[in-house]
Amino acid sequence: MDRRDFVKAGTSVLLASVAGAALAADEMSGHEHHHHEAMPATGDAVGATKFAALVDAAAGCVKAGEVCLEHCLALLRTGDTSMARCSITVSAMLPLCRATLALAVQDSVHLKALAAVCATTCRDCEAACKEHAPHHEACRRCMESCQRCAQECEKIAA
């Protein structure tokens, strides 16, 4: 790196720092930017209220799924391979529930198609967790949340 490159890099870092500080100052001063005039008066995204049950179900599934996945991984680290299928299905379910949640909030035209896939994935996870639900609280909660999310997804996908 020659002197000119070094100065350019330093200037870039400095400008980025100043911009970051300015944004932080705006946030701390309570200054808000209003770029979303089309938003409903309540401040909620259209889909957040239109698909409230699905949004809640998908969010609950993500929460319970993260706990279940960590529980599975903790047991797998000890050599207990009985949780392998459960960890695989919850790992597949999590990104689909996150995406479904996002598309529901956005009232996306693609929600119906994704909801069908999410329902199937939640049913797979529900079945895998059901095997462990009597012995593991994390699996029971994940099973229940997947069941609820699948039901809400099936309503949308129908």
pLDDT in tens, 140-151: 999 999 999 999
The reported pTM is 0.70
Rounded to whole angstroms, how far apart are CA atoms 24 and 99? 29
What length is written for the chain? 158
C-alpha distances out from residue 100 to 35, 124, 127, 143, Å: 25, 16, 20, 18
pLDDT in tens, 34-55: 444 444 444 566 666 889 999 9
pLDDT in tens, 88-103: 999 999 999 999 999 9
Tokens 């994940």 found at:
142
Rounded to whole angstroms, how far apart are CA atoms 150 and 40? 28
